[in-house]
DNA sequence: GTCTATAGTCGGATAGAC
DNA sequence: GTCTATCCGACTATAGAC
């Protein structure tokens, strides 16, 4: 304890405010989160919000941009691998299925983990249920490219074009199986008797979804032929 | 136009307020919906909220109870038919599958229609993402019984006990496939190029989910044997 | 850059006339 | 039962000292 100021000078107010805002906006939603909550959580003065971000709205938009940045660094490389594989001429069905399994596992880890990314998922889901003016930024820079890549992979496995309605719907149903465990967490926990999503629980969920997905793909191929 | 008062005297203020509140709370969420919005929509005086419901909180709880009442009258008979069938000794697999298809179709109609029930679904989903003090009322009186019945049906089809983790998870994945089309409606519409869920679109979704569900069940049976 | 103090607005609830 | 008027607290944003 040698000459330390009262305030931790590790990070500046702007950065701490942004970090805290992800957490607070996720927990309470944009409307319910007050500027006083935000600054209390960040340990900064209330004036920091208009000063650095031009207001509560600006802070929220900064949070959205931060989410996109983290999201792309988290799942982007995985998506890039998918795109590279899809560009190849000799991609085998077994390989494609492996890639899909890996992607489902990655998204589940992202969605169900207790890490900071947990808050991001909450904000993204909230934006979709109740789109705010920043929804477009989120959609065009993150969701749309991600979804399109998965659709192409699933279309390949189904043996149809990625622009077909069936491929698009099928992708949504696969993602829906994952997202329910996030959007209806309280419901899942109560019905299963779990207390949270630990490693074991996440593994059980991922295993179930992968088996379902394989079954859906296999049935489609059988149905076609 | 024979001697009509300015205000339509058809229904009393309490009833109109409750009806409008379902709509307003669904659109904006509890926090973002202000009492002034609520009374403007209902065409009643602001004092009607504390007078009839004891405050904004009380009005919201009344909305939740109304939702349970409507929900049970809407899906309750269907669920009752399921329970009766499950109690029989001679329930065939084909029959059970038919019942599950019918239930999926009913829920999809409930979730994706443009009727008043649309607002109910929005409130229910919001409550699950961000449970408020009234979540318990909703869970115990509506969601839990409904979910338990579907789990029993799916467990029967999977050939396992309804208390197994696999049956519970499988039910959630089936419901997840449905719910995604409600929770991520904006996303689905943009990616599919649809402008809304009409008869045709709902039919395509239901058809996809029923095929998926059948595939999941068939694969599980194949996997076991 | 960070603080205090405060302006200006809007929220929900109430008192009391009718 | 329904209205107007008003209270009081909480909100976001700003002004200006340091």
- At a CB cut-off of 8 Å and minimum separation 6, what does A44 contact? A13, A16, A17
- In this structure, how many other beta carbons lie within 10 angstroms of the beta carbon of residue B81? 14
Contact assignment for A191 to B147 by CB distance below 8 Å: yes
pTM here is 0.92
B203 touches strand D (CB under 7 A): no
Alpha-carbon gap: B84 to the closest alpha carbon of chain A (Å)? 22
Q: Tokens 């490693």 belong to which residue?
A: A199
Q: Which of A140, A173, A206 is the mutation pick for testing B, counting most B CBs within 10 A? A: A173
pLDDT per position as a tens digit, A88-143: 999 999 999 999 999 999 999 989 987 778 899 999 999 988 899 999 999 999 99
pLDDT tens digits, one per residue of B7-27: 444 579 999 999 999 999 999
Average pLDDT over all residues of chain B? 92
Mind listing the pLDDT tens digit for each residue in A155-183?
999 999 999 999 999 999 999 999 999 99
Residue B6 has pLDDT above 60, yes or no: no
> A43 and A7 in contact (C-beta within 8 Å)?
yes
Neighbours of A103 (CB within 10 A): 20
Tens of pLDDT, residues B114-147: 777 889 999 999 999 889 999 999 999 999 999 9
Those residues with Cβ within 8 angstroms of residue A194's Cβ, 6 or more apart along the chain or in another chain: A188, A201
How many Å from the CA of A190 to C1' of D14?
48
Return the percentage of chain A with pLDDT > 90, whole number: 85
Rounded CA gap, A225 and B146, in Å? 37
Average pLDDT, integer, range A1-18: 65
Return mean pLDDT, chain A: 92
Select the residue from A28, A104, A126, A208 to test the B interface by mutation, using most B Cβ atoms within 10 A.
Answer: A208
CA distances for B27 relative to A56, B94, B194, angstroms: 21, 41, 21
- Residue B77, CA atoms < 13 Å, CB-side half-sphere: 4
How far, in Å, is the CA of B13 from the C1' of nucleotide D1? 9
Average pLDDT over residues B215-223: 88
Tell me whether residues A169 and B32 touch, CB distance under 8 A: no
The gap between A176 CA and D10 C1' (Å) is 39
Band the pLDDT of A225: cuts 50, 70, 90.
low
For the record, the structure tokens of A30 come out as: 């944009």
**Strand D proximal to A55 Cβ, under 7 A:** yes
Closest CA to A18 of A45, A46, A52: A52
Q: What does the pLDDT look like over B49-86, one tens digit per residue?
A: 999 999 999 999 999 999 999 999 989 999 999 999 99
pLDDT at B3 over 70: no
Which pLDDT does position B106 carry in this prediction?
94
Structure confidence by residue, pLDDT tens digits, B89-116: 999 999 999 999 999 999 999 899 877 7
Distance, CA of A64 to CA of A40 (rounded, Å) = 21
**Confidence band for B1, pLDDT divided at 50, 70 and 90:** very low
pLDDT of residue B224: 62
pLDDT of the residue at B37: 98
Question: For residue B68, what pLDDT is reported?
Answer: 97
For residue B223, pLDDT beyond 70: no
Eight-state DSSP code of residue A161: -
Q: Do B125 and A122 touch (CB under 8 A)?
A: no
pLDDT for position A224: 62
What's chain A's Rg over C-alpha atoms?
A: 21
Which has more confidence, A195 or A116?
A195
Give the confidence band of A74 by pLDDT, cuts at 50, 70, 90: confident
Chain A contact set for B214 (CB, 8 A): 219
Q: Is the pLDDT of residue A2 over 70?
A: no
Which tokens hold the place of B52?
Answer: 């009839």
């Amino acid at each position: 304890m040698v000459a330390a100021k009262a305030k931790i000078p590790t990070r500046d107010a702007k950065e701490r405010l942004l970090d805290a805002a992800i957490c607070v906006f996720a927990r309470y939603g944009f409307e319910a989160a007050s500027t006083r909550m935000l600054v209390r959580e960040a340990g900064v003065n209330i004036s920091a919000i208009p000063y650095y971000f031009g207001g509560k709205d600006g802070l929220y938009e900064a949070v959205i941009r931060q989410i996109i940045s983290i999201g792309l660094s988290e799942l982007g490389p995985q998506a890039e691998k998918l795109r590279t594989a899809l560009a190849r001429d000799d991609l085998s069905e077994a390989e494609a299925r492996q890639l899909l399994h890996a992607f489902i596992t990655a998204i589940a880890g992202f969605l169900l983990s207790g890490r900071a990314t947990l808050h991001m998922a909450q904000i993204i889901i909230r934006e979709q249920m109740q789109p705010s003016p920043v929804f477009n930024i989120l959609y065009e820079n993150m969701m749309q490219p991600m979804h399109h890549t998965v659709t192409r992979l699933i279309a390949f496995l189904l043996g149809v074009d990625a622009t077909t309605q069936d491929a698009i719907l099928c992708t949504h149903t696969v993602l829906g199986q994952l997202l329910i465990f996030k959007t209806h967490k309280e419901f899942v926990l109560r019905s299963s008797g779990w207390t949270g999503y630990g490693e074991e629980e996440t593994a059980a969920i991922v295993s179930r979804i992968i088996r379902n997905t394989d079954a859906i793909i296999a049935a489609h191929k059988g149905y076609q032929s």
